[in-house]
Homo-oligomer: A and B are copies of this chain.
Amino acid sequence: MTKIAILGGTGYTACELIKILLRHPHAEIVAVTSRDQKTPAVAESHPSLAGRINLRLEPFDVDKLIAKGVECVFGCLPHGASMDAIQLLLLRGLRVIDLSADYRLRDANVYAQWYGESHHDLANLARAIYGLPEIYGDEIRSAQLIANPGCYPQTGILGLAPLVAGKYVKLKDIIIDSKSGVSGAGRTPKPNTHFPECNESVVAYNVGQHRHTPEIEQTLSDVAGEPVEVIFTPHLIPMDRGIFTTIYATPHRALTEAQLFDVYRAYYANAPFVRVTKEIPATKDSVHTNFIDMTVRVVRGRIVVLVAEDNLMRGASGVAVQNFNRMYGYDEKLALW
């Protein structure tokens, strides 16, 4: 039984994480922290958890976590705040899975450019492993610090990895058009997530400026072994959860759909959570699961990849537990099936 703490327990990803971990036979949540002054029961913050968890939200205190026997910490804090807390945990030898963006971008300058503030934990940044198991599966096993991947990036990266790894497509002529449910915007009410504003409406946002762009490019460049550039356009869709990503890539030479299916199936032969489907996958078929579904089409010579996932589970808390399972040598699918 691995004792676990969750930092930043009032948001959607923390709630999802708790639900998954409550089903995990070898994990026990012993602390949930919050920066709020008030420390109500976790189940007051998340009424869906009533009767399932009896912990109260507590202030973040490394000594107390260690006294409780915590071995592994899941960070659900906002970027910036996250690295402040996490460096203290790492110093004391704890293992950490950080769901914020703080340790995702290897280059601190890129971080500063996209997040608008300088990184202040360069030492750990250098040691962090990007927690996408289908790409960095081995490094994850022995990592002390996992930078859990963003929701959009997983669809873009995994949708393109087989093409980029095999150098089948032009690496600077890639378009990623994503459609996300509103829970991806977090739990804080804002005008653009006010129900009568975003319901029954679609709109693109942060066009050309979304922070997940460098994250996608960094990992795809790793896969390709040379720089990859993408145009990434996110859209807000009137639904709770789910991301549908439509990718357009230009092949160097003509490929049939049958050839592409072979490429994809071979690439993901050992990835239990990637489903290469014949039909176009609706987001509905992967919500509340850790699966990422994808199919591929050829249109006028261009490759179109269609990818679906649940932004909260696969896109955040599910893949975090998948990483946890790898880190502790458990069956990768535990609590996620």
- Report whether B282 and A201 are in contact in the complex, using a CB–CB cutoff of 8 Å: yes
The verdict on A242 contacting B282 (CB below 8 Å), with A50-B277, A193-B195, A194-B194 known, is no
A280→B50 contact, CB < 8 A? no
| CA gap between A185 and B304 in the complex, in Å | 23
List residues of A (236-263) whose CB comes within 8 Å of B's CBs.
237-242, 244, 246, 248
Q: Does A68 contact B (CB under 8 A)?
A: no
A 262-304 to B, binary, CB cutoff 8 A, 1 in contact else 0: 0000000000100101011111111111010100011110101
Min CB distance, A18 to chain B, in Å?
A: 12
Cβ of A122 < 8 Å from any Cβ of B? no
Residue of B nearest to A232 (CB): B299
A183 CB to nearest chain B CB (Å): 4
A194 to B51, CA, bound (A): 25
**Once the chains bind, are A179 and B202 in contact (CB under 8 Å)?**
yes
Which chain B positions have C-beta within 8 A of A244? 202-204, 235
A239:B242 contact, CB within 8 angstroms = no
In the complex, A177 has a CB within 8 A of chain B: yes
Query: How many angstroms between the C-alpha atoms of A208 and B193 in the bound complex?
Result: 29
Q: Are A182 and B196 in contact (CB under 8 A)?
A: yes
Among A22, A177, A238, A299, residue most surrounded by chain B Cβ atoms (within 10 Å)? A238
Does A64 belong to the interface (CB within 8 Å)? no
Q: What is the CA–CA distance of A185 and B22 in the complex, to the nearest angstrom?
A: 32
By beta carbon, the residue of chain B nearest A209 is B299
A313: shortest Cβ distance to chain B, in Å? 11
Most chain B CB inside 10 Å of its own CB: which residue of A177, A196, A235: A196
Residues 21 to 72 of chain A near chain B (Cβ within 8 Å):
22-23, 47-48, 50-52
Cα separation A304 to B205 with both chains bound (whole Å): 12
Which of chain B's residues have a CB closer than 8 A to the CB of A246? Answer: 177, 204, 233, 235
Instruction: Name the B residues within 8 Å of A205 (CB-CB).
Output: 280
Whether, in the assembled complex, A226 has its beta carbon less than 8 Å from a beta carbon of chain B, the answer is no
Residue A92 is within 8 A (CB to CB) of chain B in the complex: no
Known: A194-B193, A242-B200. A179 touches B279 (CB 8 A): no
* 8 nearest A-B pairs in the assembled complex, by CB-CB distance: A208-B299, A201-B284, A189-B189, A203-B282, A202-B244, A189-B194, A182-B195, A48-B285
Can you list 11 A-B pairs, Cβ within 8 angstroms, ordered by A?
A: A23-B337, A48-B285, A51-B275, A185-B196, A187-B197, A193-B196, A200-B242, A207-B280, A207-B306, A231-B300, A233-B246
